[in-house]
């Protein structure tokens, strides 16, 4: 039988349910699923998986190296591990703008601190930042957040230059961006699987995780929800994400793409409604099983590794 490997961190509800669902079908599909087990890895040896679902390598560099090597051996890896070379919020926001998707006004900042080998002579191309000009452009309130990462780690809401400088001075070696704060009247989170299967749902980020789906009480016109689904697909296909969540903040009827680069989106049973959780498990099982039936990937040129074959 062909095998699907699931690579995870602390989460349990979604991967446990996914593995059970794939294995429930195994007598018909000829595909099984299990948690990946890996210690040291030998260059040139292929892992015993047709597909690997990655939900943790964004936090574990060894897993990133192992997954890229697995992809070179023909394994289908979800999400594409080579995208990590280009995955940052400034690029992603610029890409969304190119696609015609509304975005918050965004500014990238130089690092506050650098590794010891970086000296003033290393930074001769840098100019001083005009902090007042940054906030004149984005408006206030604004958010300063890391260029890489998620989960609201190191994110601060700022209402003044003093707030901005306080958060920036605490950022250490993180690369940061500043984004316009969208004062929304409604909010939608789209779960995307396979780049084309979308589950849109009203979502309230101001609530605790366990209440963000169940407490959302906004009104969304059907036409606008269809538009959001189309934009979510467009973003994921352009970014090369098979698995993602795309969040839209709606202000004056205009949907702004706020958070749409989630390589391991929250699919925990405690966060989703039962209906959304069941949809995510079934749709992911369908998608991974279909991938397992495809021939192993061939190795394209290096520049093609960033994109789906």
DSSP helix/strand/coil, 55: coil
How would you write the pLDDT of the chain (309 residues) with one tens digit per residue?
999 999 999 999 999 999 999 999 999 999 999 999 999 999 999 999 999 999 999 889 999 999 999 999 999 999 999 886 667 999 999 999 999 999 999 999 999 999 999 998 999 999 999 999 999 999 999 999 999 877 778 999 999 999 999 999 999 999 999 999 999 999 999 999 999 999 999 999 989 888 998 888 888 888 999 999 999 999 999 988 999 999 999 999 999 999 999 989 999 999 999 999 999 999 999 999 999 999 887 765 555 655 554
Residue 193: strand pairing partners: 197, 243
The whole model's pTM is what? 0.91
Domains of the chain: 2-81+290-297 (3.40.50.20), 88-102+182-262 (3.30.470.20), 105-180 (3.30.1490.20)
Helix, strand, coil share of the chain (percent; to 5): 35, 20, 45
Q: What is the 3-state secondary structure (H, E, C) of 147-166?
A: CCCCCCCCCEEECCHHHHHH
Secondary structure class of 234 (helix, strand, coil): helix
Cβ partners under 8 Å of residue 260, min gap 6? 92, 96, 232, 235, 236, 239, 244, 245, 246, 247
Q: Residue 79 half-sphere exposure, CB side, CA atoms within 13 Å?
A: 28
DSSP 16-35: HHHHHHHHHTHHHH-EEEEE
């Amino acid at each position: 039988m062909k095998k699907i490997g699931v690579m995870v961190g602390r989460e349990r509800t979604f991967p446990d349910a996914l593995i059970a669902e794939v294995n429930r079908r195994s007598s018909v599909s000829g595909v099984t699923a299990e948690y990946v087990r890996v210690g040291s890895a030998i260059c040139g040896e292929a892992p015993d998986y047709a597909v690997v679902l990655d939900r943790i390598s964004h936090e574990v560099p060894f897993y990133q190296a192992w997954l890229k090597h697995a992809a070179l051996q023909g394994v289908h890896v979800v999400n594409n591990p080579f995208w990590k070379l280009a995955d940052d919020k400034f690029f992603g926001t610029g890409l969304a703008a190119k696609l015609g998707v509304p975005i918050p006004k965004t500014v990238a900042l130089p690092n506050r601190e650098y590794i010891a080998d970086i000296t003033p002579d290393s930074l001769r191309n840098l100019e001083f930042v005009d902090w007042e000009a940054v906030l004149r452009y984005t408006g206030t309130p604004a958010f300063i957040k890391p260029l890489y990462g998620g989960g609201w780690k190191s994110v601060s809401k700022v209402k003044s230059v003093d707030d901005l400088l306080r958060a920036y001075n605490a950022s250490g070696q993180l690369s940061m961006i500043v984004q316009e704060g969208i004062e929304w009247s409604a909010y939608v989170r789209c779960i995307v699987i396979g780049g084309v299967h979308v589950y849109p749902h009203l979502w309230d980020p101001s609530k605790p995780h366990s209440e963000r789906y169940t407490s959302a009480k906004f009104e969304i016109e059907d036409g606008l929800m269809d538009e959001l689904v189309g934009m979510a697909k467009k973003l994921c296909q352009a970014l090369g994400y098979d698995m993602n969540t795309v969040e839209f903040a709606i202000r004056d009827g205009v949907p702004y793409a706020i958070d749409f680069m989630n390589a391991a989106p929250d699919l925990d049973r405690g966060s989703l409604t039962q209906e959304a959780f069941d949809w995510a498990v079934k749709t992911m099982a369908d998608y991974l099983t279909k991938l397992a039936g495809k021939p192993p990937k061939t190795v394209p040129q290096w520049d093609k590794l960033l994109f789906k074959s």
